[in-house]
Chains A and B, each alone.
Chain A
Amino acid sequence: MTTQTSPSPITATRTIDARGSFCPGPLMELIRAIREVEVGALIAVRSSDRGSRIDIPKWVEKAGHRLVGVNEVEGYDEIVVEKLH
């Protein structure tokens, strides 16, 4: 996992713009995307809810996927997750 302060250089398979949505909205959007994409896909979740940087990594760990990085961008976080199974 990496924590950066600039936009991610990673090209995500899918980007979810959940800015303006509150917990658990961004996590639920990620879960919906995980169900839909292929194994190996990278999903970037953009969230302005500070709780996402705690909730999403915890969920990723429990669900057995990979947290690629949490990138702090101006006004929001971009959390990148790789679907492993």
Chain B
Amino acid sequence: MERVLILGGGVGGTIVANLVSRKLRRQIDSGLAEVTVVDKLGNHVYQPGFMYITFGHEKAAKLQRPERSLLDQRVQLVVDEVTRIDEATHTVALASGKSLGYEHLVLATGSRIAPEEIEHFGAEAHHFYTAEAAQRLRVALNAFKGGSIVIGIAGMPYKCPPAPLEVTFLIEAELRERGLREKSEVHFCSPIGRAFTIESVSDMATPVLEQKSIELHTFFNVETIDPARKVVASLEGEELRYDLLVLVPPHHGAQVLIDSGFAPAPGGWLPTDHHTLQVGGRPNVYALGDATDLPLSKAGSTAHFEAPIVAERVAAAVLGRAPAAKHASYTGRVMCFFEIGDGKGTLLRFDYDHPPRPPRPNRIWHLGKVLFNKAYWMTVPRGRV
């Protein structure tokens, strides 16, 4: 029996499960192989939609579906929490006390946010990395009648790198629509020396920030929040007063990966081969999505394009053949939409060797993102695109 065990039912884990089960259909039906997904909640959540809750275009209930409904019938789903991975015995321990064995392990455990690492974050800062937080930010925006809005990043790497800039642009557009722009300052704080990590995207976004009179603060690594003075301070010694503070919380990989010796503390990101997606040189352990330490966006799109490589390599190993050339090696391909505000967007498409060349923002790319969000459930998790 060849057991393929996939930890995590997000974008990456779900696509890999469906693709592997198709490739191993005969082996599964004849009892020679099995594919199992372990997911803590048993719900698949479309996280890119959270931002749209803040701007009133999405509802939390529409952003999740039962994981079972997205999986091929040949895939087994175990709703449980992984507490330990034992490499010596090739077993995974679960919170329920059960354990699962594997010959092939796929780590699609995503990332977790840690706002508690910044003192006063919970009481003072808003974010949009959960449905509830995005809704609270909506309420705060409704109550905002003018003043200083500070948007920043309290730790790198983080999920969906364009998101804080997108939120900044969308908030600024909303302030204009509500007649509050003249009474407001908008500050965008970047931890590095430019607006965005990728230079070509930064070159596209910086003039947009200037055009919208959004003040850019570079090398602003959030250090402290002072609730009495309503001031956020950077490690570099800069202070900004806020009436509304929006911060990307610190992110980490899954704790179980650190505890089990797969990923180094404190980040918890898996050392992953750029092309084979194998973890730490292990021939039978793969990673994809946010869980890796690859120099790419932590985004569903990355997991989406990594999944066919992991699925092909796992299936090939089970079948005792070489991986098919088309999906043998990951090129770093990522593609995602980028909201600019005012109903406009652009597209970021890149790989390890080719940085993005974002087209001039227009309505088409904004509508592309809207359509993609709607079509997601019928296409991406099922491995149809």
Contact = CB atoms under 8 A, between A and B. Distances in A.
A81 to B, nearest CB: 13
A59 B219 contact: yes
B193 interface: yes
B237 A22 contact: no
Contact of A63 (B156, B197, B219): B219
Q: Please tell me the size bucket of the interface on B.
A: 10 to 19
B31 interface: no
Contacts of A28: 156-157, 191
B236 A23 contact: no
A50 interface: no
B235 interface: yes
B295 A21 contact: yes
Interface string B192-222: 1100010000000000000000000011010
Contacts of A55: 192-193
Interface in A14-52: 21-25, 27-28, 31, 34-35
Contact of A31 (B157, B193, B197, B235): B235
A31 B221 CA distance: 9
A58 B219 CA distance: 9
A62 B236 contact: yes
A21 to B, nearest CB: 7
A62 to B, nearest CB: 5
Main secondary structure of the interface of B (DSSP, over half): loop
Q: Most B CB atoms within 10 A — which of A23, A35, A64?
A: A23
Interface in B281-300: 295
Contacts of B192: 23-24, 27, 55, 59
Interface residues of A, number: 17
B219 A22 contact: no
A62 B197 contact: no
A64 B237 contact: yes
Interface string B248-284: 0000000000000000000000000000000000000
Contacts of A34: 235
Contacts of A21: 295
Contacts of A62: 218-219, 236
Interface of B: 156-157, 191-193, 197, 218-219, 221, 235-237, 295
26 contacts: A21-B295, A22-B295, A23-B192, A23-B197, A24-B156, A24-B191, A24-B197, A25-B295, A27-B192, A28-B156, A28-B157, A31-B191, A34-B235, A35-B235, A54-B193, A55-B192, A58-B219, A59-B193, A59-B236, A62-B218, A62-B219, A62-B236, A63-B219, A63-B236, A63-B237, A64-B236
